Chain A
Amino acid sequence: MNIKELTKGIFKENPVFIIVLGLCPTLGVSTQVSNAIGMSAGVFFVLLFSNIIISALRNFIPDSIHIPAYIVIIASLVTIIELFMHAFAPAVYAALGVYLPLIVVNCIILGRAEAFASSNTVIDSALDAIGMSIGFTLSLTLIALIREVLGAGTITLFPIGSFDGVLEVPWLIDNPFRVVALAPGALLLMGFLKAFFDWKAMRKVD
């Protein structure tokens, strides 16, 4: 067991900003914080179990068909999470739309299976999955938070009791920068954030 496997996914090998994987859902669902959290939960479940199952089976899966085998495992897990969300979180299910089944082709999951779980122990793979999921969750939530606060002036969480789940940001609620919430805003924001992370990485090298 190596605690480094857990922490590397958060900053050093952050899946979104450093390795740049899994962009479709990152930009597609980051219009609201609640969607970002729902998506992160889905990715967390699928990544954790796919890493565990694949590393447990790593000595049994023949090399020549390892990719199709991984895809079947991942797609089954995605089907489980799809049915689960449809039953217990219909609002999130509707908001995520086509991006939920697309977790199957999310490069983070197949990438970790191929690069890590296929050659490491079950516990290390589970830690790797948890670390990567935390990194993915933080990045996705950060993008969603910036886009929702600037683009709509709200922060949408989940309704609990009398709290309807929507926080309003004063001033911005009346004067939102709409473009940030729309498609171009996502791409521009991703460009600026990536530039920031590259700049930080470069400064460390110097």
Chain B
Amino acid sequence: MSYIAILITFIFINNFILVQFLGLCPFIGVSKDSENAIGMGAGVTFVTTVASVVTWAIYHFLLVPFDLAYLQTLTFILVIATLVQLLEMVIQKVSPALYKALGIYLPLITTNCAVLGIAIINITNDYNVMESFTAGLAAGLGFTLAIVLMSNIRERLDLHPVRKAYRGMPIAFISAGLMALAFMAFDKSLLTNLHLV
């Protein structure tokens, strides 16, 4: 698969939130205003991209040669947790401004399904290192797209009369459902029509 095809697949066709339901907790929890949504999206994109490459390297240079592939889940989650901690320290040291913007989101990202999800999907799909990098970046961008759109919808919903029982989470789920309905317009035939497959 070409890199553009991977980008389109993970941003639109298999959008991590709206199609695969990976990373729903932060999607519902942190989408109340657009500023936080952009911060969370940027944090997740950063981590999915770095984690894709690092877990790919660990899997192919450490787990496979020593015949330890069954320890994949355990290794990946530890690597991701360490990586997030490390990134937090590096960002804090190198760019205090970026740390101020992303700092509070980073600890939350460790337990975000999207990060472990993309690491496992890269291995399942047998991607090489560049494809993994692209998939990680695209998964993060897809997450950002969905969460930013969602936060804008929710900011507007605050001004509208919503029935009491639907206020807050229920209406957020329903809005997400309608967004997912719109995203169904993107399917595999899109790749064929664009001559990418």
Contacts from A to B (Cβ < 8 Å): 20-21, 23-24, 27-28, 67-68, 71-72, 75-76, 78-79, 82-83, 97-98, 101-102, 104-105, 107, 110, 179, 182-192, 194-196, 198-199, 202
Report B81-124 residues with CB < 8 Å from chain A CB.
Answer: 81, 110-113, 116-117, 120-121, 124
Given A104-B73, A183-B180, A191-B177: A98 touches B124 (CB 8 Å cut-off) = yes
Q: Is the CB–CB distance between B23 and A24 below 8 Å?
A: yes
A-B contact count (CB 8 A): 126
Query: CB-CB < 8 A to B112: which residues of A?
Result: 105
Binding site of A, secondary structure by majority: helix, strand, loop or mixed?
helix
Could you tell me the dominant secondary structure of chain B's interface residues? Answer: helix
Q: Does B197 count as interface, using CB distance less than 8 angstroms?
A: no
Instruction: Tell me, in angstroms, the Cα distance from A179 to B181 when the chains sit together.
Output: 9
Give min CB distance, B71 to chain A, whole Å. 7
B145 within 8 A of A: no
Which residue in A24, A68, A98, A179 is a CB contact (below 8 Å) of B81? Answer: A68
Say whether B57 faces chain A, with CB atoms less than 8 Å apart.
no
Q: Which residues in A have their C-beta under 8 angstroms from that of B178? A: 184, 188
B166 to chain A, nearest CB (A): 5
Minimum Cβ distance to chain B for residue A182 (Å): 7
The answer on a CB contact under 8 Å between B165 and A198 is: yes
**Residue B173 at the A interface, CB < 8 A?**
yes
B170 touches A27 (CB 8 A): no
Q: How many residues on B have C-beta within 8 angstroms of the other chain's C-beta atoms? A: 43
Chain B residues near A (Cβ < 8 Å): 18-25, 28, 70-74, 77-78, 81, 110-113, 116-117, 120-121, 124, 164-166, 168-174, 176-178, 180-181, 183-184
> In the assembled complex, which residues on chain B have CB atoms less than 8 Å from the CB atom of A72?
74, 78
Contact status B173-A194, CB under 8 Å: yes
In the bound assembly, the distance between CA atoms of A184 and B68 in angstroms comes to 38
| CA of A185 to CA of B19, assembled, Å | 11
